[in-house]
Structure 1
Amino acid sequence: MADWGPTSATWPGPIDREQEKRDVARQLVERAQDGDVVGAGSGSTSFLAVLELGRVVAERGIAVVAVPTSYEVARACTANGLRVASLRDLRPDWAFDGADEVDPAGRVIKGRGGAMLRERLVFAAAAERHLLVDSSKLVERLGQRFAVPLEVVPEAVSLVERFVRRDLEVRSAELRTSGGGKDGPVVTEHGNLVLDVAIEGIDDATEDTLGRIPGVVATGLFTGFDYQLHVAGR
C-alpha cells in the first residue's frame, strides 16, 4: 500500500467525550502483540485508538501492521509508527471500529465518515471484531439520531432514492455534500457518492432490502456481525 508520509496527524475538529473514547481505546489496544495485523476503523474513536496503539508499539518495541479503512486513518497509522497494508496483502487478526448508533439487538449504524464499504470489508475479514463506543451511542431504536448512509454508484443516485422510497418507510433521503471543504458531493475512497437515508422501523430485514437495490455498493447498517462491544466507562 502507498506510503502516506506524514510525520504527525490530528483530528479535524473537537472530539466529543474525548476522554471516555480515549480510555476505552486504551483498554483495547493493550492486547496488541508483536506481529499483529490490526484492522483500523474510521471516525474519532478509531483515530484515538490508532494514537493509543502507536503508543503501545513504541513503548514495547513491537511491530504491528494496520489495515486502515480510510485515507485519513491510513495517515494517522503512518504518523504513529504503524506499517500500513491492505486486504490484498493481509487478513487482520483483530479489528476495531466505532459506531454512530448501537441498538439492544446489536445492530449498528456506521458511516458518518463515508467509508462504509472499506469498513465493511475490513470488519468482515478480521478474525476478531471490536466495536468501541461511548454511552451516547447506545439507543433503543436505530435511526433515532442518524440516517443510514448508502454508498452509491454516482449514476444510480436517483434510481436508488426512488427504490428506497418505494420499499421502505423513509423520512428523508439526501445526497451528502462536502460542506466547506470543497464544492459538490462527498466522494468515497472508491469513487462513489453517499446517500443519507432516514428510515423508520429498522429491523433485521432492512439491510437485505437495501442491499438488493441496484446501485447500492454498501450500507452503513451493520447487522449479523459477531463482535465484542466495548462501552466507555463500563
Structure 2
Amino acid sequence: MSTAAAASTSGGNPIKVVLADDQVLVRSGFKALLDAEDDLTVVGEAANGAEAVEQARTTRPDVILMDIRMPQMDGIKATRQITDTHGLEHIRILILTTYDTDAYVFEALQAGASGFLLKDAGPAELLHAIRVVAAGDALLAPRITRRLIAQFTAQRIATQVAEDRLAVLTQREREVLTLVGQGLSNDEIGAQLFLSPATARTHVSHAMTKLGARDRAQLVVTAYQTGLVQP
C-alpha cells in the first residue's frame, strides 16, 4: 500500500473522495487515477454544486475535489453550504482553480475550503493534495496565496479592525500566526522560535480556536487580512 495510506482519516480505511466537476471527461480521468490507489476511493460524483452538496450529505466523504465554475450552483456556494452544515464539518474541500482566470479562490477559503489545486497539476500533485487535505492540513501554494490575497484584501480591513481581531492572541500566538501565514510547517515554526514541534502545534491550535478558524488555511487568510504577513 502507498506510504500515504497513513494519511487516511478512517483508521486505515481508504480516503473517501467525491469528484465535483461539470466536465465528464475530467471526472472520469480523476476517478481512474484515484481508484488505482490503495488508499483512495471515489464514492461519488457531481456535475454541479447542488449535486456536490447532496453527495456530501449522502456519502459523507473525507475530501471533495471541487471545481469552482459549475452550473446551477458554483463551487464556492457549495463549499459554504457544506462547511456550514452540522454533521459535515469533517469534510475537507480541495478547490480546483485555473490560477490566472479564477478570481474566487480567496472567497472559497473564507467559505471553509482547506486549499486549492491548479487544474494543470500532474497526477502525483493531485494525489498528494488529496492526502494532505485528508490528513487535516492546508494545501496552499504560497505564490498563489500571496497574489490572490493581495487582490482581495487590499484596503479591505482597517488597522483597528485587524487589531481587534488579533487582541485575543498572546504575543507568541501572533508570532506563530505570522509564520503560518508565511507557509511554514510546525517543525519550521518550532525551529525558528526555538520551540518543540509539539509546542508549535499547540500554539497553532490555540490560535485556530481563538480566531474561529476552521483549519490552517483560514489562519493563512487571517494572517494576510490583518497585515501580519504582507503580500
Greater per-residue strand proportion: 1
Structure 2 length-normalised TM? 0.31
TM-score by length of 1: 0.30
Q: Larger % of helix: which?
A: 2
